[in-house]
Each structure stands twice: as C-alpha cells, then as structure tokens.
C-alpha cells in the first residue's frame, strides 16, 4: 500500500540514493512514486509485489468473466454444458 508521507520521491533523489531506496522497496513491498518537476511521473515497485499485482488483476478479470457468463445465462443467452458438449462432439465427428 502506498504511504503518501513516505513513498513519494523525486527522480533526482532516486538517482542519488538508488541502492538505499531499492533495498527499502524490497523490504517494505511498497511502491515508490517518482516525481519530475513536482509531478508524479513513474511508479517503481519490486518484482515480487508487481507479480502479485498482476495476479490480482488476472483474478479480477476472471471473476468479471464468470459474472458476465452467469448474467448471460440468467438472461437466457447461454447454452447448457450438455448442449455445448453435444454440439462440440457433433462438430468433431464432422471433421473426421
């Protein structure tokens, strides 16, 4: 989680203290916002935390897809698994 009192630094400061700040990133797992001319320009994060963020985003997209499918089924727009597999096996039989 970003701590606005500690996790915003200038790019110049990051360049001067790269080793210390990278060690802090790894230890705290907090991203670091880097500013250029007082404006937020970059976010730096350790690889493990970034991977966790990617995994969370993928999970959210999966859950949204499941919800969309359930909503479509409620609206009568989908097929039952039985109908889907019957249609798929018919298509496979036609290919052979």
How does pLDDT run across 41-70, given as a tens digit for each residue?
999 999 999 999 999 999 999 999 999 999
Average confidence (pLDDT) over 7-31: 95
| Measured CA angle at 37 (ends 11, 34), to 5 deg | 30
Residue 78 has pLDDT above 90, yes or no: no
Residue 96 has pLDDT above 70, yes or no: no
Region of 79 please: left (phi>0), alpha (psi -120 to 50) or beta.
Answer: beta
Q: Where are the alpha helices (DSSP H) in the chain?
A: 11-16, 18-28, 47-74, 81-95
CB 40 within 8 A of CB 33: yes
d(CA 90, CA 71) in angstroms, rounded, equals 27
Residue 32 has pLDDT above 80, yes or no: yes
Tokens of 35: 């500013």
* pLDDT reported for residue 5: 73
């Amino acid at each position: 989680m970003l701590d606005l009192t500690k996790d915003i630094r200038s790019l110049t400061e990051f360049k001067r203290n790269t080793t210390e700040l990278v060690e802090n990133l790894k230890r705290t797992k907090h991203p670091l916002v880097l500013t250029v001319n007082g404006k937020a320009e970059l976010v730096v994060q350790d690889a493990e935390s970034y991977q966790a963020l990617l995994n969370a985003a993928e999970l959210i997209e999966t859950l949204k897809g499941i919800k969309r499918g359930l909503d479509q089924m409620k609206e009568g727009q989908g097929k039952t698994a039985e109908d889907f597999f019957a249609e798929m096996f018919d298509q496979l039989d036609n290919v052979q």
